[in-house]
Amino acid sequence: MTAAEQPGLVVKLRPTGPWRIGPDSGARDAVDLLYHSDSLYSAVTGAMRLLGHLSDWLEATARNPEGAAVRFSSLFPFQNEVGFVIPPRSVWPPPASTKVRWKGAHFVPLGLIGPLLSGQSLEEDRWDVDGVSQCLVPGGRLGPFRLALRSAAAVDRLSGNVEPHEVACIEFLPGAGLWSVIAFSGEEQREKWNNPVRTALRLLADSGFGGERGRGWGRAEAPEFIEGTLPNMILPQQPAEAPAAPDTEPAVPMEPVPPAPDPANAYWLLSLFSPAPQDTVDWNRGSYSALQRGGRVESPARSGDLKKLLNMISEGSVLLAGRPLQGAAPDVAPDGFAHPVYRAGFALAIPIAWQATT
């Protein structure tokens, strides 16, 4: 991403039932609270195959030497009109408080990011950390989702043996769901891919995201789309005073706003990131963390094989680089597999002013 405006699209998904986001451990009785950008890209790619766009899609994204024409953030929670996001590690958590355990919040309202970056303090009396969802919420309120265990049974059709078990899932409260921002590399690419991406997401809303789709999990109402430009959809020019705890704070601004001042070469990641050879990241500075991604292949050629493990820079990281981050999609297919299997590490990053952590 650059400070110059780029076409953007926000999608909001309102689940119609439970979702299962499998944890890295694969444990049935646990879930991940974040649907990562590489999984979202993989799901959209699968939909593009069904829609007949796979070859063109891969050429425009995973195989594009100039960088992906379309990039996805991870899916973050929202509740009514409050959108949550993983805050920049360079400004989170705030100094320790006797009232609020700030570091317990993995997600914070999007409207607080600007004030945090400008050095404003949060009013302790207005905020609570919802322990289940790990969201910073206005005092006395619940977060956007709860965790549950649903009973199931595996039946061996040959022997007739039945193995009962429980599977963890996420259950969303009324008015809650997940949102993602999508970036197009330019107006020409927006014209080309806007409708196919929307169609793919509508297909996925009907068929499901994540695990246990055969049980009807992971489905959503017809997606809501909001067009705009980046970075202003995510980080508009901020008012002089910090906002109060939001009642109807929008997940993303709906109205055009003036562009933010040109920041230093610091980039706040809203996606997972795997650096490309041309990325000039200063790994001695910044504020970042890494996680290891694995999983199993879903392919008409053969499914269930383990993908190669890949270390990626996590969402919320702030990287310093000489130019806007690009990222890459390494092939993580098992040795000898019939075709490449791409792990999307394209950077969807918002330029911010760098603040060194203490």
What does pTM read for this prediction? 0.88
Whether the per-residue pLDDT at 23 is higher than 80: the answer is yes
User: What is the percent of the chain where pLDDT is above 70?
Assistant: 89
**Sorting pLDDT into bands at 50, 70 and 90, what band is 3?**
low
Whether the per-residue pLDDT at 345 is higher than 50: the answer is yes
Whether the per-residue pLDDT at 258 is higher than 60: the answer is no
- 35-39, 46-50, 118-122: range with lowest mean pLDDT: 118-122
350: number of Cβ within 10 Å: 26
**Residue of 255 and 352 predicted with greater confidence:** 352
Three-class SS state of 126: helix
Confirm if 75 and 180 have CB atoms less than 8 A apart.
Answer: yes
User: DSSP character for 205?
Assistant: H
**Sorting pLDDT into bands at 50, 70 and 90, what band is 357?**
low
138: number of Cβ within 10 Å: 15
Do you know the residue count of the chain?
A: 358
Angle, CA 303 vertex, CA 302 and CA 307 arms, to 5°:
105
pLDDT one-digit tens code per residue, 46-71: 999 999 999 999 999 999 999 999 99
- Identify the pLDDT of residue 356: 63
What's phi and psi for 103, nearest 5 deg?
Answer: -70, -10
C-alpha–C-alpha distance, residues 348 and 10, integer Å = 13
Q: Domains of the chain: which residue ranges?
A: 6-352
- Identify the pLDDT of residue 66: 92
Confirm if 214 and 91 have CB atoms less than 8 A apart.
Answer: no
Confirm if 190 and 12 have CB atoms less than 8 A apart.
Answer: no
- Identify the pLDDT of residue 257: 44
C-alpha–C-alpha distance, residues 1 and 350, integer Å = 6
Whether the per-residue pLDDT at 340 is higher than 80: the answer is yes
pLDDT one-digit tens code per residue, 124-170: 999 999 999 999 999 989 999 999 999 877 776 677 677 777 999 99
| Interval 92-121 mean pLDDT | 95
- Identify the pLDDT of residue 301: 83
Mean of the per-residue pLDDT values for the chain?
A: 90
Whether the per-residue pLDDT at 243 is higher than 80: the answer is no
Confirm if 148 and 171 have CB atoms less than 8 A apart.
Answer: yes
User: DSSP character for 121?
Assistant: P
- Identify the pLDDT of residue 354: 87
C-alpha–C-alpha distance, residues 273 and 68, integer Å = 12
Sequence-separated contacts (24+) of 51-56 with Cβ below 8 Å? 51/196, 51/199, 51/200, 51/203, 53/196
Whether the per-residue pLDDT at 246 is higher than 70: the answer is no
| Interval 67-89 mean pLDDT | 97
Whether the per-residue pLDDT at 12 is higher than 90: the answer is yes
